[in-house]
Structure 1
C-alpha cells in the first residue's frame, strides 16, 4: 500500500483549529476510495501504470455483452434485414464521428465523460443532468444483460427467471467493489475464452450452411419470415433508433480510457491505436455482433419453426449453433457458460460506471460523499426491478425512447468539442472541471440537451404526427449538433469559465502536453494530489501563505469558504 493510501486510511478527521479547516468524515471517506478508482476526479499519472494495449483490451472487454445479438435480432424481425443493415451502418457512422473527440479528450487529459461534459458547455452542476442520463444507460443495459443470463440459467439449469434475475445481479457486486485493478484483470483474462466460444461456432455454421446467407439477405421480417418489409428510409431510421441507444456506451469506454498512460513520441503509434480501437472503434465490434445476432435469428426462424418465438434470445441462438457439431448436453453447457461470461464482462462495467455516475452527481449536489458502494447497490437494485418487470418484452420501445436522450447528450458534447473548441474557438480548448473555475450552469450544453431531448421525444410519441415519428433520432442528432454553436455565439462564450487563473503558478502540462505529475499538498485532507487536480484555496494558511485544495475536497466543501471568487467578466471570457 502506498504512503498516500496508508495516510488516507488513518486520516479520520483532519483539523486545523486556527483556521477552521476541517476534513469531514465524508471527505476522508472520499479520499480513501478515490485513491483506488478516482470516482470524482482526474486519474493521476502515479496510478496509470498500464500500457496502451492493456487499457484497450480492458475497455473492449466491456463490449462482450450479448445485448447486441438481441438488438440485431429485434430490429431485423421488426423491420427486415435490409432496413436493419442500413440502420446498423448509420448507427456505426454516428458513433465513430461523435466518439472520436470524446475518446481523445478522455485519454489525453485523463478524465471521465462527466468531467469532460462539465467544461464542454454544461457547467459544474449542469452536467448532473447528463450523469442521470448515463446512469440510466447503465442500469437499462445491466438489466438487459441480466435478463439474457437469466434466460440461460432457465434453459440450462431450470432456475426460475425471478431467481435468475437476482443471481445475475448479486453476482456482480463483489467483483466491482475493488475498482479498476480488478476489472482490468477480469477483462484481460476472460477475453480470449469469450472470443473462441463466440467466433468458432459462427464460422462453422456459415461453412456448413452457406444457404443460410441467402436466407439472411432475403429476410423481410416477422417471426415467420414473411413480414414483407421492404427497404425504406423510415424503416432504416426505426432500426437505427434502437441501435443508437448504445451511443452512451462511449462513456463506459472512457471510464477505462481515462487510465491511458501519457502520450509521448515513443508510444505515439500504440497510444493512438489503443484510443481509436477502444474508443470509437468499439462500434465496429458492436455492429458486427448486431449483424450476427440477426443472422442467427433468421437461421432459427427458417430452420427451427418451433423456436421462432425465442429467436431473439442469444442463449437459444448459440445453443442451436453448438448443437450442430456437439451433443446436446455439451452444447447446453457451453451456451450457458458463454452467456454467464458475457454477462459478467459487461455488467461489471455497467455496475462500475453507474456507481461512478450516481456518486459523482450526489456528491456534487449534496456536498456529501456516501461511498461508491452505496450507489453500486442502488444501481443494481434498479436493474433488478426492470428485469422483474420483464423489460425484455418491450426492449425495442424502451431503447428507442432512451436513444433520444442519449443522442442529445453525446452529440451536444461532441459538437462543443469539435465545433465550439476547434472551429469557432469559443469554448476553452483545455478541459476544465474544477469547482470555482466553472460557472454552475452553462446554457450552451444544458439548454441544448433539454431542447434536443424534449423535441425528439415529442416526435417519438407522435406529437408532430405519424409521418415524422420514425425520424426522432435524426431530430435529436440534428438539434444537438447545431444548437450548441448557436448558443455559444449568442452568449459569446461568457458562461464557460468563471475564472481563468486557478491560483497555481506551476504549469498544468509537461513538455509533451500531458497533465503534469507534480504534486501539491491538499490543505483539507493532508494528502498530496497531482497538480491538475488542485486549485488554490480562498483560505490562507496559518502564516498567511497560499494553500491548495484538491477538487475532491472542494466537492465536499459545504461552506464554500475554499472556493475562489470569480474574476472580472472580461477575464473570464475566452
Structure 2
C-alpha cells in the first residue's frame, strides 16, 4: 500500500489502548480494511456458520409445534424460512462486497446517520434476547448434569464466552473451527438413534395435534402466530453479516467460491435453522411422556431422552458437553455482534469510544439480568412481539438494496460516513416506523384476529412498499447530504490516507474530506467529533490530494 498523504503534525487524538488494538477491535465502527481480511471465503463462511449452533432453534420449534400442532407449526417454520432466506440474500452480498456491518449498511440504505441508531438498539436487543435464551439453555444443562443452581448457572454461562468474544475474529474463527466436528456429531446423533430405534414415531409426530389437541388440521391463525415466532430470527442475518464483512475481495478467480460462501453463510443459515426447529419439535414430542410439557421445551431434557438408549451411562455427560459447546459457539457470536451494535450506538450519541470490548461486558451484563428474571419462560411472547419491529427494519433495508438502488432512487453504492449523510433519511427510517407501528397495533388486536396473527408479514409488506414510494416522494434527496469526492475504483481500493486527526493510515473507503481539519479524516474520528456540527455539509468539499474517481456501483 502507498500513503497518498503524509501526517504533517502530531496526532490530535489518541485512542484508548483497547480501541486502538484492531486485533480486538476488528474495525468495529468502520469499514473492514482489505488488508485485515486475511481469511479465505470458506474460513469466513465456516466462522459465520459456527454461530448458528444455538439450541434456541430446538426450543423455538418445540414451542411452535407443541402449541399449534404439526400441520400449522411445521408449515409456519418453513414459510418463515423462505422469507428469511430471500431477505438475507441482498443484505449478505452487500455487507460482503462493501466490508460493512449491519449498522453501517443500514445508515446508507435509507436510514441516515442518526436514523440507524434506532436499528442499532433493535439489533442489540436481538443479541441480548438470544444471549439470555441460549445462556438459559446452558444453565439448564448444568442443573441437570451436575445439579448447579440455575442462578449460578446463568452466571457461569455468561462468563464462559467472554475470552472468545473479547479477542475478536481471530479467536472466534479458531474456536468455531475446533468445535465444529464435536457439534456436528452431537447434532446428528439423536436423530440417527430415533430413525433406527423408533421410525414409526415419525408418523405419530406428523399427526400431532398440539398439547391442547386442537391443532389436528391446518389453521391459518395458528400458522400466522407460529410464523411470527419463527420470523423473530430474521435479525440473525445481522450476526452473519458481522462476519461476512471480512470476506476477501471478489475476483474472477474466486467468484464462484465467493458467492457460494456468501449465500451459504448469509441467508443459508436458515436452511439448517429450520431443520433444527423441526428436529427440536420432534425430540420434544418424543420426550413428552418422560419429561412433561415444561421440560420438553428445554432442549437438554429431550436431547438426553433421545440419546440415552444408545449411550447409556455416558448419555448425560455427552448431552451436557453438546449443549455447552453449542451455547459457547452461539453466545460468543451474540456477545461479539452485540458489542458492535452497542459501540455503534454510543459512539454516535456520546461521541466517545472506549473500545468494543467494553460493550461486550455491557451486552453480557444485560443478558445475564434477563436470565435471572426468567426470560426463557416468556419465549413465545418475547419473540412474537420482537419480530414485528425486526422485520420492518430488515424489510426497509432490503427494499432499498433490491428496489431503490437498481432503479436509481438512491445512490448505487453504500455510503456510511457521517460527512456525507443526513441525520435522518425519511425513506428507510419512515418506512420502518410506519410499518412497525401498524404491525404492533395489529399484533395487539387492533385490526382483528387475522392481522394479529400475520402482523410480522404486514410489517414486511408495508416497509417494502413504502421505501420506493418515499424515495420517489422525496426524490432521493435525503440519501446524501453532499457529494462524496473521495470515491474509488477497484484499482484504488488499497490506497491509504493518513487521518488528519489520529494520524493513522486508512483505506480510501474509510476516509472523508474534512473541512474542519482541511484534510482527510477517518470515519471513526469523524464520528467522534463533537464540535464540528457537520460543518462540511454547509461549506462543501475541500480540495484534497485524493483520487477523484467514480464510485463502485452495486
Structure 1 residue 33 displacement after superposition: 4.4
Following TM superposition, by how much is the alpha carbon of 1:474 offset from its aligned partner in structure 2, in angstroms?
1.5
The DSSP-based 3-state class of the residue aligned with 1:443 is coil
- Name the structure 2 match of 1:288: 275
CA shift, 1:174, in A, is: 2.1
Any conservation in 2 of the 1:539–1:562 contact (CA below 8 Å)?
no
Contact 2:190 2:306 in 1 (8 A): yes
1:367 corresponding residue in structure 2: 351
Aligned position for 1:22: 12
Contact 2:113–2:416 (8 Å) recurs in 1: yes
Q: Look up the SS of the partner of 1:42 in the other structure.
A: coil
- TM-score, normalisation: structure 2: 0.93
Q: Which residue of 1 aligns with 2:139?
A: 150
Kept in 2: contact 1:31–1:525 (CA 8 A): no
Q: Report how many aligned residue pairs link the two structures.
A: 538
Residues 228 and 548 from structure 1, CA distance in 2 versus in 1: closer, same or farther, beyond 3 angstroms?
closer
CA deviations 1:47-83 (Å, max 9, x no partner) are 1010000000000000000000000000001100111
**Alignment partners' CA distance in 2, 1:508 and 1:375:** 32
Matches within 5 A, 1:168-187: 168-187=157-176
Provide Cα deviations, 1:503-542, integer angstroms capped at 9, x if missing partner: x4xx51315xxx71111111111111111101112146xx
| 8 Å CA contact 1:118, 1:432 repeated in 2 | yes
Q: Which of 410, 434, 439 matches 1:451? A: 434
Cα RMSD, aligned residues only:
2.2
Deviations 1:73-124 (A, max 9, x none): 0000110011111111111111111100000101111111111100110001
| One of 500, 514, 517 as aligned partner of 1:523 | 500
Q: Does 1:313 align with 2:298?
A: yes
Structure 1 unpaired stretches of 5+: 5-13, 541-545, 569-573
Cα 1:517–1:382 change in 2 (3 A) is same
Q: SS state of the match for residue 36, structure 2? A: coil
What does residue range 257-268 of structure 1 map to in structure 2 within 5 Å?
257-268=244-255
Q: Following superposition, which runs of at least 4 residues in structure 1 exceed 2 angstroms of deviation?
A: 14-17, 28-36, 225-230, 304-309, 463-468, 561-568
Q: Where in structure 2 are the equivalents of 1:136-215 lying within 5 Å? A: 136-215=125-204
Displacement of 1:565: 3.0
1:501 & 1:74 partners in 2: Cα distance? 49
1:535 aligned onto 2:512: yes
Query: Using a 3 Å threshold, how does the CA distance of structure 1 residues 531 and 311 change in structure 2: closer, same or farther?
Result: same
For 1:269, the equivalent position in structure 2 comes to 256
SS in 2 for 1:325: helix
**CA offsets, 1:297-334, max 9 Å, x none?**
11112xx3443331111101110111111223x10001
Q: 1:510 aligned to 2:494? A: no
The correspondence for 2:265, drawn from 278, 289, 307, is 278
Asked if 1:350 is matched to 2:334, the reply is yes
Structure 1 match to 2:374: 390
Q: Report whether the alignment pairs 1:475 with 2:465.
A: no
Pairing partner for 1:73 from 54, 59, 62? 62
Report if aligned partners of 1:95, 1:280 keep a CA contact under 8 Å in 2.
yes
User: Does 1:130 find its partner at 2:113?
Assistant: no
In structure 2, the partner of 1:557 is: 529
Flag structure 2 segments of 5+ consecutive residues without an equivalent: 541-552
Counterpart position of 1:571: none
Q: Which residue of 296, 312, 324 maps to 1:340?
A: 324
Offset at 1:485?
A: 0.9
CA separation of 1:567/1:213 partners in 2, compared to 1, >3 Å: closer, same or farther?
farther
Decide whether aligned partners of structure 1 residues 294 and 208 sit closer, same or farther in structure 2, where only a CA change above 3 A counts.
same
